[in-house]
Structure 1
Amino acid sequence: MSRPLVLGLTGSIGMGKSATAALFSARGIPVHDADAAVHALYAPGGAASIAIAKEFPGILAADGSVDRGRLRATVLGHPERLAALESLVHPLARRAAGDFLAAHAQAPVAVLDIPLLFETGGDARCDAVLVVTAPAEVQRQRVLARPGMDAATFESILAKQMSDSEKRARADFVLDTSLGFAHAEAEVDGILARLRGMPSPP
């Protein structure tokens, strides 16, 4: 049974991962958006919303979706609650990624866009990994410009993520998104050329 060559795409918050994913999509490469998949799981009737409601009573909004703000407040500062949540959500997210790859089995290349790729062991199912990066000050400016974001929230998110330097050290490809759109496009084209030159996966 054939399968695509799988490129994992990851990077810390504010590094330009979504914009880079869009460049692959624009070139006809199937891209799995893990964040969007989790949103679907948290939607009314979603597999995660049902499981989370059993584990954390009162966590659902009036429409039956997971109230993400309430959930965040419930697990913040409680490692055991966060671990329980992750034990529910991560397997469902992995299944969604597997379903995506099965649906695109005939594609030569497919991208798994996963923020916590290394942290959740998702790199094990990838043939190569691309890490997007940017200078720390550029990252900070981008994130703090987002609606509703403040410095404390930014720092708490960073604390849960593997450091940028460690991600870069583990990557097969690194793209600095602070160098402009034309640079990013050229880098993506080069990465695709190298991937297409790799042997087909078994």
Structure 2
Amino acid sequence: MTFNLGLTGSIGMGKSTTAGLFATAGCAVWDADAAVHRLYAKGGAAVSAMQAWFPDAIKQGQVDRMRLKELIAKDPQVLSRIESIVHPLVAQDRDDFRRAAKSDILVFDIPLLFEIGGNQEMDAVACVMIDAETQQSRVLARGTMSVEQFLQIRHKQLPIEDKIARSDYVIVTDTLDHARAQVARILADVREKIANA
């Protein structure tokens, strides 16, 4: 039996680091953001479709994400067109990963897991969380966005309280050691479920 574990959480809550802990523990990890990067890269499956709709967003044979952000800022309708192109390709990438993976536990790192209904494909969901103050300081420390941009992204995401309420497991990412211990407990619980299935 293969167990599908969704991993989610809001921006800056430590999801990527936690995904790395699952990978280190022997799980196969699929990363939604990395899948989009592959699709947008030179030769990626999304490039030709994006070129047809947004020719000025293609630079040196790949999709320019900054240009897409500018286009979305000018016209909110652009986002739904991008999603209609990218979401089916991301789903295909996820299915390909699922078929090829050899681990007993597959972890799906998907920021908008609940928002897109992806939780229905999972056997369980783990949500990472940290307090709002730490979340904001982590994001701003990256130096890639303003407070306004951060708040805009957070506003689009389901409130963390709702994500926690709908999750089977919660991982508090206050320290790496604490997160690692929680990951180990989740894996022990999941492996027990697999053994008893």
How would you bin the TM-score normalised by the shorter chain?
A: over 0.9
| Aligned length in residues | 197
Structure 1's unaligned 5+ residue stretches are none
1:145 counterpart (126, 131, 141):
141
Structure 2's unaligned 5+ residue stretches are none
Matched, 1:72 2:69: yes
What corresponds to 1:197 in structure 2? 192
TM-score calculated relative to the size of structure 2: 0.95
1:53-88: CA deviations, max 9, x gaps? 111121101x11101111111012533211111111
Matched residue SS, 1:25: helix
What corresponds to 1:135 in structure 2? 131
Q: How does 1:80-159 map to 2 (within 5 A)?
A: 80-104=77-101, 106-159=102-155
CA contact (8 A) 1:14 1:140 kept: yes
Letter in 1 for 2:124: A
CA contact (8 A) 1:8 1:129 kept: yes
TM-score calculated relative to the size of structure 1: 0.92
CA contact (8 A) 2:2 2:103 kept: yes
Letter in 2 for 1:165: E
Letter in 1 for 2:21: L
Using a 3 Å threshold, how does the CA distance of structure 1 residues 161 and 44 change in structure 2: closer, same or farther?
A: same
